Amino acid sequence: MKTLLHRFDLSYLYVLVGEATLALTFVFYMTIARVLGPERYEIFSAAVALGAILSLFIQFGFPTLITREVAANPIEGPKSTGKFLIIEGLSFLLVLLLLFPLARLLGYQGEGLIVCYLVIFAELCRSVKMTQRGVLKGMGWFRSETISVAIERFFTVLLPVIVLFLTQNLVLVVGTFVLVRLLDIVGMLVYLSRKTSIWSPLSLNGLWQSVRMAYPFALAGVLWILYYQIDVVMLKGLAPTGEAGYYSAAYRILEMFAALPQVVFYVAFTRFARYYANEPEKLPEQIYKCTRLLLAVVLPTIVVAGLFQSTLVNVIYGEAFAPSVKPLAILLPSLSVKMFGTLVQKLLQATGREKQLPTLLFGTTMTNVVTNLILIPYLGGVGAAVATLLSELVLCLVGLSLMKRMQYKGMSKRLGMITAISLLVTAIPSLMLYGLTPIMGIGLMVPSIATMMVLMKRDRFLERVT
């Protein structure tokens, strides 16, 4: 029993519990959709999409950078926290200057414009909290991070929902959300200051050096969020009224399941960075463990979600959001590709190759934008979902080619085959929804899973190919 408990890594359990609290946020979005209806929910979801894009300019890549630096050096790494938070505050002021003309250009006005400003304040708080969480993750304090996240999400849902039912005023709801987040980050700042040294002498040169370190992460982050949030923004401008709301509802369901691979990556990223800095010869073993977890835990969950996707939409959002099933049928299988593309990105960041990511993500983002421009006018939310899937494939394939150059030729080849099989397996439930018989579905799924099991044999997976 002691041996079993020693082998069981509680870090994943703590992160899983923390990510499970995303369900609270999901309940928040669902409640707004049900209470306010598709049209007013579209105002909120579009503002959140714009805020998510602009938030990357505030974060400037510091949450990921601080995680890597602290994981590689737990003594000196946390001392950069104060500098990073100051730069995020300055970035926030620049974003505020750009927000008004940008929001008006995109058609936000009246209530929508006020909500946009409140969402940006909420994103500042979120950026600070993510940087604070980066310190906790880098130090390996996953239990503390889980408690912190659970408290934050509980109150940022409970209090705004109460205001929602009392007033049905979207501005007051989002304002309450901002206030709770602000109080949370102040409390976390006090906690970190007592646990470790998060401040170092400030100077203009020190701030500039931090910006130079972070800019590849920042650029990659901006391109990454553009890649995912541009769909809703483009739907609002190119598709009929309501399409952005339906697609956003489908995407919120996708995010619920996308949190599961993030559990793996939160822990795996710190392991990648730590082993690369101290024992690089053991890094391939960590990649194998990460892949094994993705296939054993995440892939079956996506398949089960695909089997019940119509029920999910109906139960969560109601019959009014029935059109959300169509884009969801494409978005769910895309998650099987996304998780392997993300694995490569985390590997590049952990090994100091983050400067390769902006080029990779720029190509992916442009693929997504161009495909959206072509498909959205004809297919609406379904076209946006197809664009996302195609972009995920481009991102993963190019990422694996970069991994191949890192002396992981055999591993990248096997990951490519596993990705293709995973896409097929997760697409079967959606195909069954539109005509594929269960017998044919099982006939495709069984040999596919058997092939993945062969590819995942440890010696075969770690075998070097020259």
pLDDT recorded at residue 135 = 87
- Distance between CA 289 and CA 188 in Å, rounded? 32
Alpha-carbon distance of 23 to 29, in angstroms, equals: 10
Q: For each of the chain's 466 residues, which pLDDT tens digit applies?
A: 444 344 445 566 656 666 666 667 777 877 877 777 777 777 777 777 777 778 878 888 888 888 888 887 888 778 888 888 888 888 888 888 888 777 777 667 777 778 888 888 888 888 888 888 888 888 878 788 888 888 888 888 888 888 888 888 888 888 888 898 899 888 888 888 888 888 877 778 878 888 888 777 777 766 666 666 677 777 766 766 667 778 888 888 888 888 788 888 888 888 888 888 788 888 888 889 889 989 988 899 999 988 888 888 888 777 778 888 888 899 899 999 989 988 988 888 888 887 887 777 778 888 888 888 888 888 888 888 898 889 889 888 888 888 888 777 788 889 999 999 999 999 999 888 887 888 888 888 899 999 999 988 888 787 664 4
DSSP classification of residue 298: I
User: Do residues 233 and 376 touch, judged by C-beta distance below 8 A?
Assistant: no
Those residues whose C-beta lies under 8 Å from the C-beta of residue 45, and which sit 6 or more positions away, are: 29, 232, 244, 245, 248
What's residue 226's pLDDT? Answer: 63
> How many Å is the maximal CA-CA distance in the chain?
67
Q: What is the DSSP string of 312-355?
A: HHHHHH-GGGGGGHHHHHHHHHHHHHHHHHHHHHHHHHHTT-GG
Contact criterion met (CB below 8 Å) for 18 and 149: yes
Identify the pLDDT of residue 201: 78
Residue 4 pLDDT: 39
Is residue 296 classed exposed, middle or buried when 0-12, 13-18 and 19+ CB atoms within 10 A define those classes?
Answer: exposed
Query: How far is it, in rounded angstroms, from Cα 59 to Cα 87?
Result: 9
Phi and psi at residue 274, to the nearest 5°: -65, -45
Q: What is the pLDDT of residue 422?
A: 93
